Amino acid sequence: MTPQETLVQKINDHTAVVGVVGLGYVGLPLAVEKAKVGFRVIGVEQNPQRAAKINAGQNYIADVADADLAAVVADGRLSAATDFSRVAEMDVIVVCVPTPLTKNLTPDLRHIENVTGEIAQHLRPGQLVSLESTTYPGTTDEVMLPILEGSGLKVEEDFFLAHSPERVDPGNQRYTTKNTSTIVGGVGPRSLEVAVAFYRQTILEVVPVSSTKAAELVKVFENTFRAVNIALVNELTLLCDRMGLSAWEVLDAAFTKPFGIMPFYPGPGVGGHCIPIDPHYLEWKARELNFNTRFIALAGEINRHMPEFVREKAIRVMNHLAVVPRNAHVLILGVAYKRDLDDCRESPAIEVIKLLQHEGASVDYHDPHVPELAQDGIVLSSIALTAEALSAADLVIVTTDHTAVDYEFVVRHARHVLDTRNATKDVETGRERITLL
């Protein structure tokens, strides 16, 4: 049998050993799903605390069921290493490492390059490498492939290389790794065939495309679609502010249209490790081709402006309350980047806190999911959401609309609430003490 046939057979009978590099919000759910269907899975996790937790059967990713992780670790189907010494044991190696931006919004492929170099040192015939990290079209072919072929092995002959962009929506209870369709592109037909066979073992719908570049572009388009539409409703909010209209009322009414529209809502900015970042990977690549992706640039500009707009609105409200910003005490409700998560990466609430502190205000926060905050020079602990804490604040700003918070209680005890998420939409009493973004 050819290396390809042997590998496909091992994938189909689940005797293939699966490696997952990067056990974060993408890698760990994937590793557990593969282990649950019987694959032996070896995680490669650079963070020794995380690797130790996995080997102790302890979960740290909200989208993974604790019992699922404990079970696959207990029966030896999932273990974690902190180095690449066991790569030769793996038949499939899935790369799920971060793809951040540098300070000037250009792709930072450090993690992909380092990991690929490590894999290349242990690469052997018969292995499939699949990149799941979101990145610009060309990364798999132009960055990973040369590094891997530096091993002397030839793609499509000796090993296989594919891209299958992750589509995890953190906190989404309905769509999980298993029931979210996945896109697969190979550097050649054999790589595509092997990769499709692999993903078909645990994902209900696998969508093959003609190349790794097409697969890479699908994902950055998906996130650009969101960034542009969020920016559109944020721009509408800025305009409504000038017109003395409520963007929330206008949008709720617009979204009653049963076709040709889908709900997006304004907010204090756009956080997370995807939407504020991934479109700029596409923007950067397009510029290489002398093409300006104007929508991406404009969306980023508008979305990054929103924390400043929150500051402006907060100052306006304080003026109405005859509160001097530099003497003001502000309580921020919610620092996670979106509701019901504990993740603060790129969270707009952090930017709002910094802007208010720059005005001289003293700022506290309450977030039921984030007990401690130590990010971007801010070191704070979540305070208890008591009537005293609320009434002691000159202004309460809702920056994340966690469902665990009692907004009736907040409005009842707060002097005034600046609500950037319309979290108080069901609060009837005290509407005069609520200002919406």
Q: Is 334 within 8 Å of 398 (Cβ atoms)?
A: yes
Using CB under 6 A as the binding rule, whether residue 264 contacts ligand SAJ is answered as: yes
Q: Is 236 within 8 Å of 253 (Cβ atoms)?
A: no
Q: Which stretch binds ligand SAJ (CB under 6 A): 27-35, 78-86, 269-277, 293-301?
A: 269-277
**Among residues 128, 215, 230, 396, which is the contact residue for ligand SAJ, using CB under 6 A?**
230
Beta bridge partners of 395: 330
**Concatenated DSSP letters of 212-251:** HHHHHHHHHHHHHHHHHHHHHHHHHHHHHHHHT--HHHHH
Using CB under 6 A as the binding rule, whether residue 370 contacts ligand SAJ is answered as: no
Q: Which of 147, 358, 370, 9 is nearest to 385 (CA)?
A: 370
Q: Is 334 within 8 Å of 362 (Cβ atoms)?
A: no
CA angle 409, 240, 253 (to 5 degrees): 70
- Least distance from C-beta 70 to ligand SAJ, angstroms? 26
Q: Can you tell me the distance from the alpha carbon of 198 to that of 3, in angstroms, rounded to the nearest whole number?
A: 15
Tell me which residues in 153-212 interact with ligand SAJ (CB under 6 A). 166-170
Using CB under 6 A as the binding rule, whether residue 64 contacts ligand SAJ is answered as: no
**Concatenated DSSP letters of 259-314:** SS-------S---SSSTTTHHHHHHHHHHHTT---HHHHHHHHHHHHHHHHHHHHH
Convert residues 77-116 into a mask of x (bound to ligand SAJ by CB under 6 A) and - (unbound): ----------------------------------------
- Least distance from C-beta 270 to ligand SAJ, angstroms? 4
Q: Can you tell me the distance from the alpha carbon of 126 to that of 124, in angstroms, rounded to the nearest whole number?
A: 6
Cα 231 to the center of its chain, rounded Å = 17
Using CB under 6 A as the binding rule, whether residue 19 contacts ligand SAJ is answered as: no
Using CB under 6 A as the binding rule, whether residue 334 contacts ligand SAJ is answered as: no
Using CB under 6 A as the binding rule, whether residue 337 contacts ligand SAJ is answered as: yes
Q: Looking at beta carbons only, is 265 or 295 nearer to ligand SAJ?
A: 265
- Least distance from C-beta 22 to ligand SAJ, angstroms? 13
**Among residues 127, 134, 399, 420, which is the contact residue for ligand SAJ, using CB under 6 A?**
134
Q: Looking at beta carbons only, is 167 or 416 nearer to ligand SAJ?
A: 167
Catalytic residue of the set 96, 240, 274, 344: 274
Q: Is 274 a catalytic residue?
A: yes
Q: Can you tell me the distance from the alpha carbon of 293 to that of 122, in angstroms, rounded to the nearest whole number?
A: 39
**Among residues 51, 61, 87, 270, which is the contact residue for ligand SAJ, using CB under 6 A?**
270
Question: Which positions touch ligand SAJ (CB under 6 A)?
Answer: 134, 166-170, 223, 226, 230, 264-265, 267, 270-272, 274-275, 337-338
